[in-house]
Amino acid sequence: MRLWDRFGSLFLILGLAGLGAACSTGGDEGPPPDRCAGTAPDRPSYAMHVQPIFNANCALSGCHLPPNPQRGLDLSNYGGLMQGSINGPVVIPGNAQDSRLVKRIEGRETPRMPFNRDPLCQFQIDTIRRWIDQGALNN
């Protein structure tokens, strides 16, 4: 007998209970936390600060993830980011203002990224800008 056949209903019930607990907003918990609450670090690290933004909004959502990232831009790792897209570099180390990536996430160049999703929070944009302005290091 397969594990699912024996315990499938239990897994389903436990999963739904966990989902309900994670999504609950009632009681004394107060309002859900603001997803955009936060500030950019003074010295952002690619691994600790920038890549997690890409993972949550660009790469793992399926758009900029191998094997066929949109416009050839792989945001799943530092090498892919620095390689750029089919249109060339998207990051100019030391120059966030003129980096195509920043222009897209700020909406100064269309289409705004992430495409058909909520814009990045200001602290996320500031984190990416600071990282680029500080040399776009693989740190």
Task: Give residue limits of the domains in the chain.
Answer: 46-133
Averaged pLDDT, 81-100: 98
CA atoms within 13 A on the CB side of 64: 27
pLDDT in tens, 24-37: 334 456 556 788 99
Strand partners, 88: 85
What's residue 47's pLDDT? 98
Q: What is the C-alpha separation between 129 and 76, in angstroms, rounded? A: 18
What's residue 30's pLDDT? 59
Higher pLDDT, 71 or 25: 71
Higher pLDDT, 6 or 74: 74
What is the residue-averaged pLDDT of the chain? Answer: 84
Averaged pLDDT, 64-74: 96
What single letter denotes the amino acid at residue 61? Answer: S
What's residue 138's pLDDT? 98
pTM for the full predicted model: 0.77
What's residue 34's pLDDT? 84
What letter would DSSP give residue 84?
A: -
